Amino acid sequence: MTAEAGLIALWLAAALALLQFTVSCFYMRTEDENLLKIINPIAIVQGLLCLLSFAMLTLLFLDTDLSVLLVAQNSHIDKPWIFKLAGTWGNHEGSMLLWVSILALSGAAIALFEKRLDQKTFTATLMVQAFVSFGFYAFLLFSSNPFERLNPAPREGSGLNPLLQDIGLAFHPPTLYFGYVGLSIAFSVAVGGLISGTINSALARAMRPWALLAWIFLTLGIAAGSYWAYYELGWGGWWFWDPVENASLMPWIAATALLHSIAVMATRDALRSWTIILALVGFAMSMAGTFLVRSGILTSVHAFAVDPERGAFILALMVINVAGALLLYALRINQVRQGKVFNLLSREGAIVGNNILLVSILAIVFVGTLFPLFAEAFADQKISVGPPYFNKATIPFIFLLMILLWAGPLLRWRQDNAERIGKKVITSSITAIVFIIIMAVVLPDTPIFSMLAIALSIGLAIASFMPLMGRKLRRTPLPIYGMVIAHFGIAICAFGMAAESGFSKQLLKSVDIGDSEVIADFNVKLKNVVPTIGDNWVATQAIIEVSDKDDRADEVEMLQPEQRLFFNPNQETSEAALMTRWNGQLYAVLGKQNADGKWQLRIWWKPFVTWIWYGAVIIALGGLIALIGRTNRRRKKHEEANPWA
């Protein structure tokens, strides 16, 4: 009965979404105050019912109810419980139900907590949110039912893809979905403002926490996915410009531009058109990512759906939602007033430059990701667009973006002068120039792009703290600290990327047991190769002894990379072994045994590679601090306005 209860809850939630949309439409036409009394309760109950449906699916996976087709295809009776739990969303239907559940709960949160919008815009926002939700409910119920029964039930189940049986993948997809759904709320608020004809700073302030929350979760989700691919796939890289990776990167780029634009609109009542269009583009990128990953158009461990009907359904949803919103924007463009003007040399001007560069990078990634798909679909030609295109096309824009990040926060609002800002950046500029000179002398073979990126990241790291100069730190608002920390995190992340790209060393060799090799400042010795057994796998494990070149005994460490064979389903994977230092990682992968009995070893020394993910965490922390600051400020204003509440 658990599956039936989940399906009934899903049908009821879909019905309430349709009712919420219908009642909201009637209110927008009639402004009947009686209708307002039921819209919010409908949104709240809808969210609870959808959450109940997802909870039922989770119970089915934890109980390994193999009479449910989805559980039988994606779980196994002997699988550890954490991977049974992850199996709930480690598939097409479950992941889409998680998406819709977060969407429904977000709509309930709007109904409960949003107080900044006028009544018509608020109702229009809930109307748009219900419309978007109903489309996904229809997709689940008619194309991807997660509660479909299987008769007869199998005895064991097929199991989850071994590549997804990792603790990182238990958290990576839900984190990304929170990000995608946050952008859907920003989209609903923007379209609600277009419908009501109210585009003002209050709209931006209502949109900001959702966009900021989406950006935080997208940052963490992308970082988690990058680290998972780095250590799980055994390729030694942290980013491959894979279409699935790009599917998550594109919404993050749009959300980054949106956040900066919202800041100007909320505080300075400018960039109204930019903010609205970026809110629409951000959700469009979320929908495009959903289409790429869930339509079956890509072959990937992430791409669960292989039914063309599902792809057509998602594409239809994307066209209806995004094209409809863009059409509405075109019809209401005359009502989206310019807002207050500003000088080009100002913080607003820097943010406009920032957004232009971000949108340019987004366009490059979008074209590079989708063009091969269109070429194959319409011209029957297989075209590969890989890292050489993306790197060469995006790096110049990224360098310009870092320079703007360097100077932009130091500019004054409305208008500034070049002499004042020049004095502000001189210290960090001198530091970067000196570092380039030192690197060119000491390490003349350093790739020029790595050298420039490292210098820029060092300059940005110093400049990121300059907005705090001259301020009383205890009275400085938390959002300022959030900006400083986030920009510092970008500098750390960029430094890690540049150092790893420019200074990595690689050892690919076939060795006998007992052989030693040297890589970077380490001796590595293959001590032994032994069998080992896990919960649902067996493995061949290498025992590698690592020591400094001077062979000091107290510095010896062991690395144990494995070649695993999973039983359910049968699949081989490479499990990398990592030795982490403050300045990098030694990365080891065990390959196959040759006919002559030697073992293939792949070992990399990756300088400062961990700083990539440390930087991402710092970026998200900056966003969280800013969100807390905004929330506290809103609460204090509410308490001052309602002292007896």
Q: Tell me: the pLDDT tens digits for 244-255?
A: 889 999 999 999
Round to whole Å and give the CA distance between 491 and 497: 10
Round to whole Å and give the CA distance between 333 and 144: 38
Round to whole Å and give the CA distance between 277 and 270: 14
- Length of the chain as a residue count: 645
460, 490 Cβ separation under 8 angstroms: yes
| Section 508-518 average pLDDT | 92
Which residues have CB under 8 Å from 169's CB, separation 6+?
86, 90, 163, 228
Q: Considering only 15-19, 382-386, 390-394, which range has the smallest mean pLDDT? A: 382-386
Round to whole Å and give the CA distance between 256 and 479: 15
| Section 394-412 average pLDDT | 90
CA angle 309–312–316, rounded 5-degree value:
140
User: Token pair of 248, please?
Assistant: 């998550």
305 pLDDT band, cuts 50/70/90, is very low
Q: Considering only 31-35, 307-311, 341-345, 574-578, which range has the smallest mean pLDDT? A: 307-311
Round to whole Å and give the CA distance between 249 and 619: 15
pLDDT at 642: 58
| Section 148-163 average pLDDT | 78
**Cα separations (Å) of 532 from 76, 308, 394, 538, 539?**
21, 42, 44, 6, 5
**Alpha helices (H) along 332-381:** 347-379
3-state secondary structure of 243: helix
Which residues have CB under 8 Å from 48's CB, separation 6+?
108
CB neighbour class for 643 (10 Å; exposed up to 12, middle 13-18, buried from 19): exposed
| pLDDT value at 76 more than 80 | no
CB neighbour class for 426 (10 Å; exposed up to 12, middle 13-18, buried from 19): exposed
The mean predicted confidence, pLDDT, of the chain is: 88
N-term to C-term CA, the chain: 45
Q: Give Cα 531 to chain centroid, integer Å.
A: 37
| pLDDT value at 331 more than 60 | yes
Q: Considering only 76-85, 194-203, 534-543, which range has the smallest mean pLDDT? A: 76-85
CB neighbour class for 513 (10 Å; exposed up to 12, middle 13-18, buried from 19): middle
Round to whole Å and give the CA distance between 435 and 458: 9
Task: Specify the amino acid at residue 341.
Answer: V
**Residue pLDDT, tens place only, 441-490:** 777 777 888 888 999 999 899 999 989 988 888 889 999 999 999 999 99
Q: Could you say which DSSP state residue 565 is in?
A: E
CB neighbour class for 145 (10 Å; exposed up to 12, middle 13-18, buried from 19): middle
* Phi/psi of residue 591, nearest 5 degrees: -95, -160
User: Token pair of 508, please?
Assistant: 């690919």
| Section 152-171 average pLDDT | 73
617, 224 Cβ separation under 8 angstroms: no
Closest CA relative to residue 58, chosen from 214, 170, 199? 170
User: Token pair of 240, please?
Assistant: 């491959």
Round to whole Å and give the CA distance between 436 and 431: 9
Handedness of CA 399, 401, 402, 406 (dihedral sign): positive
**Residue pLDDT, tens place only, 620-641:** 999 999 999 988 877 766 555 5
Round to whole Å and give the CA distance between 28 and 233: 52
| Residue showing tokens 């965490």 | 617
83 pLDDT band, cuts 50/70/90, is confident
Dihedral in degrees, nearest 10, Cα atoms 458, 461, 465, 467: 90
Q: Considering only 31-40, 237-246, 415-424, which range has the smallest mean pLDDT? A: 415-424
Closest CA relative to residue 305, chosen from 532, 427, 139, 438? 139
Which residues have CB under 8 Å from 82's CB, separation 6+?
167, 170
Round to whole Å and give the CA distance between 182 and 107: 10
